[in-house]
Chain A
């Protein structure tokens, strides 16, 4: 397939590009919008906000979620906050500074145009969410409060206790629910996307499976938005929710949507360390804790004393020592690798020696326990429930875990994939975070895409299709996709092997974590690329899915998702192997500075790697989109 990757960045100076786009785009007249049907898959921040806004504008919207309610989407679990260039602190923030911090945080591997637009609309997001009744933290005078986050030297993060994601998602969900109540959004719950249908080179709709009855059915539309989140669960153990998966994105990829930078995965530095082999997921402790918590490990190998008996001069506050200007707020990739090095050096803490301390004793002494409780109370409670330890008296133990995926479906400036009419929004796309995402920027991007970008860009695509018929679900392409999906699920039920889907997921996750996790190298990646197909082969022969296909069957659902993770896992390793440099979350041990920091190769790798499905997961086809920097000078990231 010959593909030209045109990002369609608008003309003009960087700060004017988005305005220029809006001035020149095609519009659909308000009375004609109801003639267009748009399907939105996923109801997290990006999906719910897109549903609400597109329906307010007058489009017919159909929303699909595999949850029982749109409010369950995993955006709800984001804790710390949302960035916006409001400069309410008067501390030197600006749209340009947020833009620059995001580009730099992403290790100069994201598109200037997209990131600048994100910084521009960030200020509108806060206004919008306040108007909708999100109970952001306030100061006593009634003004909005801010906190600091990693990778920034200004205080620009808005928050609602440790539940910012919950409150923002409820805000977006409520706006969407309003449109459901008004009859402008049709809501399909407990429905999972199982295929994307392309007819005459355009996205014509989707095929879904009803998770309560197993019924496979088709839905046609003028445009489809995938807002289906990231693929962090490829690692099995991650901070993602149990059902987070890559299926929607992967099914689109198999139908022609290129998948960009799959090796850019973010390992979050502050999660509760694994306690045992049967653990099902890892729990994040918000990065905001690093505002007041100090990270340390014992200076001595084989330290056995409890933390409160280790004197100050025998502790290594390694982030403060290595990165004095950012200290405990160094960006996520840098903090994660520093934790890994501390644990690998044998100075890990806890019963399995697999963590580092995050200590609040200094903050409790300085601020008092009440202030600390007000800021982080719910996180401390969560920690205590999981570990049985009280962080007010014993330092937390933390360790990095898979948390977010910067890679995703390739999209242009309009958030359109390489399949015309198919869009990807939020974590599902690859566009704004480069090789590393800064804290409190995921919520910003999800809402930017759904509230302030898609509602503009969709009309530019739809306008020429006014009053033209679209293929309906009786089209042969829909029928074929339905048959293929039904056959796939019957196949899982008929293998009759001995192992559960979870077994294969766990084994696959181990391979990806060991060889394509926090640190990668050629030898390991090649090993992974020989082990994954072997395990995949075993999956196809020895899988056991009990139950039937005509009622709720979570084992069957899981089998489909695990199969897609197998194919994605291979692509992640291919991408990591191809990218012979270190940048952001992608750290190749062959490419590091003498001090162990990431060593980029801008001459050869200042591009987006966008992979094409060839029908064979072991030999994907690579396309490149060169990243042109007009505003920013590429430089080595330094947080020292």
Chain B
């Protein structure tokens, strides 16, 4: 294994605050190792900026293990960069070629306003979860964990959807800025499980309606699945739509009985 060094040019979006105009700035960054992650390259750039008295570039990041969903970035127009099924923090510089110019922008979506430079506000995701992305099970009264068997294929399908890290790449990649993959994944996680049945249709209606308040409409482009760092399938959107349609009938019926 040999470590090669690359000379790169970065075009990075800088924006002072939510209401300021932004612009691209160009930085030359020589001798970046293959072993560096994309974010370590930005760390190196930032340290050089600070030591020359310039303000560091703001970007969201935390675990650097591809699981917390904090990191974002549009890299050469791709949410989380060119490598499939990979969050920005797991992208390594061996994916790039010396001499490349790399364009780095924040996630682009009206529902994710820019805070500063490459950092955006994804709080709208929390609002969707708060209206129904849970199973109401107050602490204390739960029955034995093995009381309700969950068939392995069901647990596996639920887990496939639950793997969503809430990063927002699906929204950033979508031409409509829709959040259907995120919302569909949470609905599939909970609606597939036996524990999730009691609130299934209430959940579907509440989450979809809240999603529609913040995000654009899905027109089945499928860009979200391609951008998803956890490769979540757009099948979850079909499940969501089916449950939402049923919910519109079932919830009305339930209401009429009261």
Measured CB to CB, the residues of A under 8 A from B are 49, 52-53, 56, 67-74, 76-77, 86, 88, 124, 126-133, 135-144, 160-161, 163, 165-167, 170, 173-175, 177-178, 180-181, 187, 189, 212, 241-243, 275-276, 278-281, 283-284, 351, 381-382, 385-386, 388-389, 451-452, 455, 498-500, 502-503, 544-547, 551-555
Which one of B33, B123, B135, B163 lies within 8 Å of A276 (CB-CB)? B33
B203 to chain A, nearest CB (A): 11
Whether a CB of chain A sits under 8 angstroms from the CB of B126 is: yes
| CB-defined A-B contacts under 8 Å, sample of 14 | A56-B138, A77-B67, A135-B162, A136-B145, A142-B150, A142-B151, A143-B146, A160-B159, A276-B35, A279-B40, A283-B65, A546-B49, A553-B55, A555-B55
Determine the chain A residues whose CB is within 8 A of the CB of B148 once the complex forms.
Answer: 130
Are B133 and A174 closer than 8 Å at their CB atoms?
A: yes
- 19 new A-B contacts at CB < 8 Å, known A77-B67, A124-B142, A128-B137: A67-B62, A71-B166, A72-B62, A74-B63, A76-B63, A77-B63, A127-B144, A135-B150, A170-B162, A177-B126, A178-B134, A180-B126, A241-B63, A278-B33, A278-B36, A351-B3, A502-B43, A502-B47, A555-B46
In the bound complex, CA of A628 to CA of B189 (Å): 46
Whether a CB of chain A sits under 8 angstroms from the CB of B8 is: no
Are A241 and B64 closer than 8 Å at their CB atoms?
A: yes
In the bound complex, CA of A499 to CA of B152 (Å): 54
In the bound complex, CA of A384 to CA of B116 (Å): 33
In the bound complex, CA of A277 to CA of B44 (Å): 11
Determine the chain A residues whose CB is within 8 A of the CB of B145 once the complex forms.
Answer: 86, 126-127, 129-130, 136, 144
Are A127 and B143 closer than 8 Å at their CB atoms?
A: yes
Are B162 and A167 closer than 8 Å at their CB atoms?
A: yes
Determine the chain B residues whose CB is within 8 A of the CB of A278 once the complex forms.
Answer: 33, 36, 40, 43-44
Interface 9-mer from B86-94, B218-226, B250-258: B86-94
In the bound complex, CA of A552 to CA of B162 (Å): 31
Whether a CB of chain A sits under 8 angstroms from the CB of B10 is: no
A160 to chain B, nearest CB (A): 6
In the bound complex, CA of A70 to CA of B127 (Å): 12
Are B68 and A280 closer than 8 Å at their CB atoms?
A: no
Q: Which of B86, B91, B162, B193 has the most CB of A within 10 A?
A: B162
With contacts A56-B139, A142-B150, A175-B134 known, is A69 near B125, CB below 8 A? yes
Determine the chain B residues whose CB is within 8 A of the CB of A385 once the complex forms.
Answer: 66, 83, 86, 90-92
Are A280 and B163 closer than 8 Å at their CB atoms?
A: no
Are A133 and B138 closer than 8 Å at their CB atoms?
A: no
Which one of A68, A133, A180, A499 lies within 8 Å of B190 (CB-CB)? A133
A95 to chain B, nearest CB (A): 15
Smallest Cβ-Cβ distance to B70: which chain A residue:
A72
In the bound complex, CA of A580 to CA of B36 (Å): 40
Are A131 and B37 closer than 8 Å at their CB atoms?
A: no
Determine the chain A residues whose CB is within 8 A of the CB of B56 once the complex forms.
Answer: 500, 546-547, 554-555
Determine the chain B residues whose CB is within 8 A of the CB of A144 once the complex forms.
Answer: 145-146
Smallest Cβ-Cβ distance to A54: which chain B residue:
B139
In the bound complex, CA of A271 to CA of B190 (Å): 33
A101 to chain B, nearest CB (A): 20
Whether a CB of chain A sits under 8 angstroms from the CB of B61 is: yes
Whether a CB of chain A sits under 8 angstroms from the CB of B82 is: no
B156 to chain A, nearest CB (A): 8
Whether a CB of chain A sits under 8 angstroms from the CB of B172 is: no
Which one of A180, A281, A284, A389 lies within 8 Å of B130 (CB-CB)? A180
Are B135 and A132 closer than 8 Å at their CB atoms?
A: yes
B133 to chain A, nearest CB (A): 6
Determine the chain A residues whose CB is within 8 A of the CB of B46 once the complex forms.
Answer: 500, 555
B79 to chain A, nearest CB (A): 17
Are B70 and A135 closer than 8 Å at their CB atoms?
A: no
Which one of B34, B94, B152 lies within 8 Å of A139 (CB-CB)? B152
